[in-house]
Amino acid sequence: MEIKDLTLDREGLIEAIATEDAAFDEQLRAAAYRTKIATVGEKVYLRGLIEISNICVKNCLYCGIRHDIPCQRYELSDDEVLSAAQAAARRHFGSVVIQGGERTDAAFIRKVTRLLKAIKAIDTGEDPPLGITLSLGEQPREVYQEWFEAGAHRYLLRIESSNPNLYRRIHPDDPLHSYERRMQAILDLKEIGYQAGTGAMIGVPFQTTQDLADDLLLYKKLDVPMVGMGPYNPHPDSPLTLSGATYPTAERRFTLGLKMIALLRLLMPDINIAAATSLEALSDSGRVKGILSGANVIMPNVTPEEQMIKYNLYDRKTLVRDGSLKLSLPDDIPVGYGAWGDSLHFKR
Ligand code: SAM
Ligand code: SF4
């Protein structure tokens, strides 16, 4: 397949995704990188990732911190979260992401509200104050509203798959894991005024090339201002791994991860696209390769190391250490230090 033959309709996307041709992939990534520079600019924006807790009420079949998996649980104290946010501010990251297992208990909801206000009050010496993205799963609409009013302005909630049947195969079949409820949560976030991001895992068992093309078309249909998608990586003790279900090789999942970023950049030129941590777990400088394929956001991990190693979503995740991330970004890629790097698409 030649890049000049690429069309961005469903058939064209399916063909591009299915193609296993290194020369085509390279052309595609280069075209996406040119589009990124022409639309959202050269800069990469950083968000300090704070993994607030690995306690989760849910049981997604692929996840290494699912409720039923035996692992040591933790919850960062307020001080630990604030120190991590201050560390991100000192490194001029401009924004933080607070991510964690899904919890809907009142104490946790209050804690997040309290922390949002405290993070907003951190004197970074820069204007604006730290921007805040949340990624804390499905919540009642009033909770999303409360957190928005407390200072969160972006929310990442992956739909995990655009195909409801595939969604049902990788989640328990019960009301807590409902595709419809997850979709409604994304719509609620949009309506409240968040920059709502979504995404899906790439290379998960049972996923087809058509599913991946439909994932891209769903992001376009939902008109989301940001997407965070990344390769699926197995966790040795997850039900999905233990079931023996097959999935693409690590190399293929990595290549597919980059290809999905590149195609999305061509499909939605002015949105924010994150280079996910799971790329880094599969390849050294995997996130930089994501940037060179059209992504424009990286989320360096600022969680205290002792807790970060317990946020063990998948194989090799905890090997991703970010002390020296700056060094792995090529000199000719400028970083948007101290800026929120909001989605241009959202502003428009
Ligand atoms: N609990 C929240 C939620 O699920 O939306 C936020 C935290 S959850 C750990 C963040 C993302 O991790 C999920 O949306 C899922 O796509 C990803 N994830 C979980 N297990 C994974 C795996 N084995 N490989 C790749 N990504 C995984
Ligand atoms: Fe919980 Fe999120 Fe993991 Fe699902 S993916 S089990 S909601 S942490």
Ordered by where they begin, the domains of the chain are 27-323 (3.20.20.70)
Ligand number, closest to the Cα atom of 257: 1
Task: At 70, give phi and psi (nearest 5°).
Answer: -75, 115
CA gap 180, 201 in Å, rounded: 18
Q: Which residues of 14-40 are buried (b: 16+ CB within 10 A; e: fewer)?
A: bebbeeeeeebbebbbebbbebbeebb
Q: Please name which of 330, 328, 291, 331 lies closest in space to residue 45, comparing C-alpha atoms.
A: 291
CA gap 37, 144 in Å, rounded: 33
pTM over 0.85: yes
Question: Residues lining ligand 1, CB < 6 A?
Answer: 56, 62-63, 99, 101-102, 135, 137, 157-158, 160, 201, 232-233, 235, 278, 313-314
Residue in 166, 299, 313, 320 to alter for ligand 1 test, most ligand atoms within 8 A of Cβ: 313
CA gap 51, 244 in Å, rounded: 29
Q: For residue 104, count other CB atoms closer than 10 A to its CB.
A: 13
Residue in 61, 66, 204, 311 to alter for ligand 2 test, most ligand atoms within 8 A of Cβ: 66
pLDDT digit string (tens) for the chain, length 348 residues: 889 999 999 999 999 999 999 999 999 999 999 999 999 999 999 999 999 999 999 999 999 999 999 999 999 999 999 999 999 999 899 999 999 999 999 999 999 999 999 999 998 887 788 999 999 999 999 999 999 999 999 999 999 999 999 999 999 999 999 999 999 999 999 999 999 999 999 999 999 999 999 999 999 999 999 999 999 999 999 999 999 999 999 999 999 999 999 999 999 999 999 999 999 999 988 999 999 999 999 999 999 999 999 999 988 777 777 754 454 678 889 999 888 888 888 877
Contact call for residues 197 and 243 (beta carbons, < 8 A) = no
Contact call for residues 271 and 227 (beta carbons, < 8 A) = yes
Q: For residue 228, count other CB atoms closer than 10 A to its CB.
A: 23
How close is the Cα of 68 to the center of ligand 2, in Å? 11
Q: Whose CA is nearest to atom 6 of ligand 2?
A: 66
